[in-house]
Amino acid sequence: MDAEDLYDAHSRERLVAEPPKRVDAPVRTPFERDRARLVHAAAFRRLAAKTQVVGPETDDFVRNRLTHSLEVAQVARDLSRALGSQPDIAETAALAHDLGHPPFGHNGERALAELSEPCGGFEGNAQTLRLLTRLEAKTTGADGRSVGLNLTRATLDACTKYPWPRDPANPKFGVYDDDLPVFDWLRAGAPDGRLCLEAQVMDLADDVAYSVHDVEDGIVAGKIELTTMDRAAVWSTVRSWYLPSVTDDELEDVLAGLQGQGSWPTRAYDGSRGSLAALKNLTSDLIGRFCGAVQAATFAAGAGPFIRYQADLVVPERTRLEIAVLKGIAAHYVMQTQDRLDLMVRQRELIAELVAVLLDRGETALEPSLRGDWRDAADDQARLRVVVDQVASLTDVSALTWHTRLCRGAP
Look up the CATH number of the domain holding residue 125: 1.10.3210.10
In whole angstroms, give the CA distance from residue 225 to residue 145: 52
pLDDT at 57: 47
Is position 254 within any domain? yes
Is position 164 within any domain? yes
In whole angstroms, give the CA distance from residue 76 to residue 199: 10
| DSSP 3-state of 58 | coil
Q: Which of 144, 164, 186 is the last residue of a domain?
A: 186
Bridge partners (DSSP) listed for residue 175:
165
pLDDT at 20: 75
Pick the closest to residue 86 from 206, 207, 204, 201 (CA basis): 201
Q: Which of 136, 157, 186 is the last residue of a domain?
A: 186
pLDDT at 4: 74
Is position 63 within any domain? yes
Contacts of 146 (CB under 8 A, 6+ apart): 134, 135, 136, 137, 138, 139, 140
375 and 321 co-located in one domain: no
Is position 353 within any domain? yes
State how many domains the chain has: 3
In whole angstroms, give the CA distance from residue 6 to residue 201: 17
156 and 14 co-located in one domain: yes
52 and 68 co-located in one domain: yes
- pTM assigned to the model: 0.93
| DSSP 3-state of 51 | strand
Cβ atoms of 240 and 354 within 8 Å: the answer is: no
In whole angstroms, give the CA distance from residue 264 to residue 285: 9
37 and 62 co-located in one domain: yes
Kindly report, residue by residue over 74-83, the tens digit of the pLDDT. 999 999 999 9
113 and 164 co-located in one domain: yes
Q: Helices 317-330 and 273-301: crossing angle, nearest 10°?
A: 150
Report which DSSP code applies to 366.
Answer: S
In whole angstroms, give the CA distance from residue 243 to residue 240: 7
Domain span at residue 248 reads 197-339
165 and 54 co-located in one domain: yes
Report which DSSP code applies to 333.
Answer: I
The helix (run of H) or strand (run of E) holding residue 44 is: helix 42-46
182 and 40 co-located in one domain: yes
Q: How far is CA 223 from CA 13, 133, 329, in A?
A: 48, 40, 10
19 and 91 co-located in one domain: yes
Is position 385 within any domain? yes
Q: How far is CA 404 from CA 58, 66, 209, 343, 366, in A?
A: 20, 25, 34, 17, 15
pLDDT at 51: 64
Q: Which of 186, 205, 232 is the last residue of a domain?
A: 186
Report which DSSP code applies to 61.
Answer: S
232 and 331 co-located in one domain: yes
Q: How far is CA 331 from CA 71, 210, 212, 289, in A?
A: 20, 11, 12, 22
DSSP string for 167-209: BTTBS--SB-GGGHHHHHHHTTTPPTTPPPHHHHHHHHHHHHH
In whole angstroms, give the CA distance from residue 87 to residue 34: 12
pLDDT at 23: 60
Mark the ranges of the chain whose per-residue pLDDT is less than 70: 1-2, 22-26, 51-62, 409-411
Is position 330 within any domain? yes
Backbone region of residue 377 per phi and psi (left: phi > 0; alpha: psi in -120 to 50; beta: other values):
beta
Pick the closest to residue 79 from 183, 3, 175, 185 (CA basis): 3
43 and 150 co-located in one domain: yes
Q: How far is CA 277 from CA 75, 126, 329, 364, in A?
A: 20, 38, 21, 51
205 and 156 co-located in one domain: no
Backbone angles phi and psi of 294, in degrees to 5: -70, -45
162 and 241 co-located in one domain: no
Is position 266 within any domain? yes
Is position 326 within any domain? yes
